[in-house]
C-alpha cells in the first residue's frame, strides 16, 4: 500500500515526544558544553582551545533543543485542537446562560425519563433532514449529508463489508486512529484508518499524527479518509513515505461503488438510516440538541447539566 518507511531523525523523534523532553536536553547540553567539557579539557594545554570553543558555543545545542521543545509544544496544542474539530468540531464553552431547547410546534408533556433521548433526537433532527431527500445512490453529495460520526461508521461498515474485523473507539479521544483492521484469525492488526468529515481539505499535520500512531502501534499500513480531500505537496510526500493511502470523497465513492450491488445497497440503507445529519457529541457519543444562546444558535450536548460542555455552530 506504500513505500518502506524511512528511519525517523532525532528531530522527528523529539517533535513527537513530550515538549519537556527537549527542554531537559537543552538544559543538559548547556551544562555539558559550558561546564563539564571545558573542565575536562582545561587540564591539558593541548585541549585548552577546545575547552574555550565548547564554552563559547554551549548555547547552540541548547537553543536547538529549546526550539524543538517549543515546536513540539505548539504541535501538541494544534493536534489537540484539530482532534476536537475532527471529532465533530467540538469546543468547550466558557459560559452557558439563558439557553433554551428549540421545540417543535407540538409540545411534549409528561415525558418519562426513558423516552427523553428519543424525543431530543427527534427535536434536534426536525429542521435538519428536510433540506435533502434521502440518497438512493453513492455520490459525493450523499457523503456530504452524513454527520461526522456516521461518516466514521460508514468507514467501519465498508471495511466490514470487505471482510475485515474492525475495532473502533466508541467516543472520546481516538488517539489518531478511528478504526483498526484485522484479518480473521489474526491477532495483529494489518492497517489503521483515520476519517475526517471536515468541510475543508486536510493538511499534513493530521496525516503525520496517523503516521505517529502507526509507529507507536507498529502497524505498517494506514488509510486516511478525507471527505474534502487533501491540500499541499507535503501531505502526498509524507503519506508515500509512511505507507498511508489517501482517499478523498471521489476515491471513497469509487471504492464503495466497486462493492457488489447488494453490499452497496445494504451499506446505503445502513448509512442513511434514522438521524444521519444531527451531529454527535464527541465526548458522550449522544446526539446533540439544537439550542439558542446569546451568541446565536448552536448544537449543544444534552448532558450539559451533568458537566459536558461540547458545542458546535448550528451550521456545522
CA distance 35 to 55: 7
45-49, 52-56, 80-84, 162-166: segment of lowest average pLDDT:
80-84
Q: What is the mean pLDDT of residues 114-130?
A: 44
Q: What is the pLDDT of residue 25?
A: 86
Q: What is the mean pLDDT of residues 7-26?
A: 78
> In the structure, what pLDDT confidence band is assigned to residue 96 with cuts at 50, 70 and 90?
very low
Q: At what angle do helices 204-217 and 59-86 cross, to 10 degrees?
A: 100
Query: In sequence order, what are the residues at sequence separation of 6 or more whose Cβ sits closer than 8 angstroms to the Cβ of residue 272?
Result: 134, 135, 142, 145, 146
Q: What is the mean pLDDT of residues 4-26?
A: 74
> In the structure, what pLDDT confidence band is assigned to residue 81 with cuts at 50, 70 and 90?
low
Q: What is the mean pLDDT of residues 22-39?
A: 85
For the chain, the three-class secondary structure string (H helix, E strand, C coil) is CCCCCCCCCHHHHHHHCCHHHHHHHHHHHHHHHHHHHHHHHCCCCCCHHHHHHHHHCCHHHHHHHHHHHHHHHHHHHHHHHHHHHHCCCCEECCCCCCCEECCCCCCCCCCCHHHHHHHHHHHHHCCCCCCCCCCCCCCHHHHHCCCHHHHHHHHHHHHHHCCCEEEECCCCCCCCCCEEEECCCCCCCCEEEEEECCCCCECHHHHHHHHHHHHHHCCCCEEEEECCCECCHHHHHHHHHHCEEEECHHHHHHHHHCCCHHHHHHHHHHHCCCCCCCCECCCCCCECEEEEECCEEEEECCCHHHCCCEEEECCC
Q: Where are the domains of the chain?
A: 10-78, 91-128+279-313, 140-271
CA distance 15 to 225: 24
Q: What is the pLDDT of residue 178?
A: 85
> In the structure, what pLDDT confidence band is assigned to residue 129 with cuts at 50, 70 and 90?
very low
Q: What is the pLDDT of residue 114?
A: 43
> In the structure, what pLDDT confidence band is assigned to residue 171 with cuts at 50, 70 and 90?
low
pLDDT of 221 above 50: yes
Q: What is the mean pLDDT of residues 220-226?
A: 95
> In the structure, what pLDDT confidence band is assigned to residue 291 with cuts at 50, 70 and 90?
confident
Mean pLDDT of the chain, nearest integer: 79
CA distance 257 to 28: 57
60-64, 184-188, 237-241, 308-312: segment of lowest average pLDDT:
308-312
Check if the beta carbon of residue 204 is closer than 8 Å to that of residue 219.
no
pLDDT of 113 above 60: no
> In the structure, what pLDDT confidence band is assigned to residue 82 with cuts at 50, 70 and 90?
low
> In the structure, what pLDDT confidence band is assigned to residue 111 with cuts at 50, 70 and 90?
very low
Of 160, 157, 175, give the one whose Cα is nearest residue 217: 175
Q: What is the mean pLDDT of residues 102-110?
A: 44
CA distance 25 to 30: 8
58-72, 86-100, 259-273: segment of lowest average pLDDT:
86-100
More confident residue, 226 or 58: 226
pTM more than 0.85: no
Q: What is the pLDDT of residue 180?
A: 92
More confident residue, 227 or 289: 227
Give CA separation, 252 vs 118, 167, 185, 270, 292, in Å. 31, 20, 27, 16, 35
CA distance 302 to 313: 15
Chosen CATH of 140-271 out of 3.40.1350.10, 3.30.300.30, 2.40.30.260, 3.30.420.40: 3.40.1350.10
pLDDT of 194 above 90: yes
Q: What is the mean pLDDT of residues 80-84?
A: 57
> In the structure, what pLDDT confidence band is assigned to residue 240 with cuts at 50, 70 and 90?
very high
47-56, 104-113, 228-237: segment of lowest average pLDDT:
104-113
55-87 as b/e: b if 16+ CB within 10 A: beebeebbebbbebbeebeebeeebeebbbbbb
Q: At what angle do helices 249-257 and 261-271 cross, to 10 degrees?
A: 130
Amino acid at each position: 500500500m506504500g513505500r518502506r518507511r524511512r528511519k525517523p531523525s532525532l528531530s522527528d523523534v523529539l517533535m513527537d515526544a513530550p515538549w519537556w523532553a527537549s527542554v531537559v536536553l537543552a538544559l543538559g547540553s548547556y551544562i555539558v558544553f559550558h561546564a563539564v567539557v571545558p573542565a575536562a579539557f582545561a587540564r591539558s594545554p593541548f585541549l585548552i582551545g577546545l575547552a574555550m570553543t565548547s564554552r563559547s558555543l554551549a548555547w547552540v545545542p541548547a537553543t536547538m533543543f529549546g526550539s524543538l521543545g517549543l515546536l513540539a509544544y505548539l504541535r501538541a496544542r494544534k493536534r489537540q485542537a484539530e482532534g476536537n474539530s475532527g471529532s465533530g468540531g467540538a469546543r468547550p464553552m466558557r459560559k452557558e446562560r439563558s439557553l433554551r431547547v428549540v421545540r417543535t410546534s407540538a409540545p411534549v408533556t409528561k415525558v418519562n425519563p426513558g423516552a427523553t433521548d428519543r424525543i431530543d433526537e427527534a427535536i434536534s433532527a426536525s429542521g435538519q433532514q428536510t433540506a435533502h431527500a434521502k440518497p438512493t445512490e453513492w455520490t459525493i453529495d450523499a457523503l456530504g449529508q452524513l454527520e461526522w460520526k456516521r461518516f466514521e461508521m460508514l468507514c467501519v461498515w465498508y471495511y466490514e463489508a470487505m471482510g475485515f474485523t474492525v475495532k473502533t473507539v466508541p467516543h472520546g479521544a481516538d488517539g489518531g486512529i478511528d478504526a483498526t483492521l484485522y484479518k480473521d484469525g489474526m491477532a495483529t492488526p494489518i492497517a489503521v484508518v483515520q476519517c475526517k468529515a471536515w468541510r475543508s481539505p486536510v493538511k499534513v499535520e493530521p496525516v503525520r499524527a496517523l503516521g505517529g500512531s502507526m509507529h507507536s502501534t507498529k502497524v505498517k499500513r494506514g488509510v486516511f479518509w478525507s471527505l474534502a480531500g487533501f491540500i499541499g505537496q507535503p501531505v502526498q510526500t509524507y503519506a508515500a513515505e509512511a505507507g498511508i493511502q489517501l482517499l478523498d470523497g471521489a476515491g471513497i465513492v469509487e471504492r464503495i461503488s466497486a462493492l457488489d450491488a447488494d453490499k452497496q445497497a445494504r451499506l446505503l440503507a445502513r448509512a442513511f438510516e434514522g438521524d444521519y445529519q444531527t451531529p454527535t457529541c464527541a465526548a458522550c457519543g449522544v446526539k446533540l440538541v439544537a439550542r439558542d444562546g446569546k451568541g446565536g444558535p448552536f448544537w449543544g450536548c444534552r448532558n450539559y447539566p451533568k458537566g459536558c460542555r461540547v458545542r458546535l455552530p448550528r451550521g456545522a
